[in-house]
Amino acid sequence: MKSLATWFGPALAAGSVFALPLIQVPSGLLAQTTDPLEAPAVDTEGSATPDASPLQPEAPVATDSAILQGLDKITARVSEFEAPIGETVYFGSFEIVAYACKKTPPEEPPESTAFLEITDVRPDEPANVVFKGWMFASSPALSAVEHPVYDVWVTGCRVAPPVVNPTPDENAVEEVTPGEEPAAQ
């Protein structure tokens, strides 16, 4: 039988094994921290110092359209196109409907995900749904479209800029046609 030193010897020599302290949580049970560098301070009575409440992750940002790229494997041509949420767009023989597109808030690592339904529509054949599900921009191979001619993947999500109604400028010059009186202000 091999000793623990035989199994863990190289890890101990490399300094990659950490001893994590047990801390007392308010319920009285013992818990282990996940990172030895972030272990809470313990006072002389042995109770953990209360930390600030952990920050809750922000919800994904809903967007107005999905940005997609498509590859025609016959011509080796890559096209980028936008699929507004709830509308049908076409790429080759594909009808693509984006039902949702979400991206992470700016303070988190960038990620865009889209829920797509891709249907292969050919003239003499019934429509065939080739993909329905979530696609991730950071991992296109995770949920790839299986098709001999076309590939489609998500590259991002777009939020439409807000529409700003211009306010009338107080210093604007009013145009007056000949024979008309200027409007009183």
For residue 120, the cross-strand partners are 94, 128
The token pair that represents 66 in the structure block: 């999905």
Own/partner long-range contacts of 163-167 (Cβ < 8 Å, ≥24 apart):
none
Q: How far is CA 34 from the centre of its chain?
A: 26
Q: What is the pLDDT of residue 13?
A: 53
Give which of 51, 24, 21 is closest to 36, Cα–Cα.
Answer: 21
The one-digit pLDDT tens for each residue of the chain (185 residues) are 555 455 455 555 555 555 555 555 555 554 444 554 555 555 555 554 555 555 555 666 668 899 999 999 999 999 999 999 999 999 999 999 999 999 988 888 889 999 999 999 998 999 999 999 999 999 988 888 989 999 999 999 998 776 676 666 555 555 656 666 656 55
pTM here? 0.56
User: Long-range contacts of range 76-83, CB-CB < 8 Å, 24 or more positions apart?
Assistant: 80/155, 82/158, 83/114, 83/116
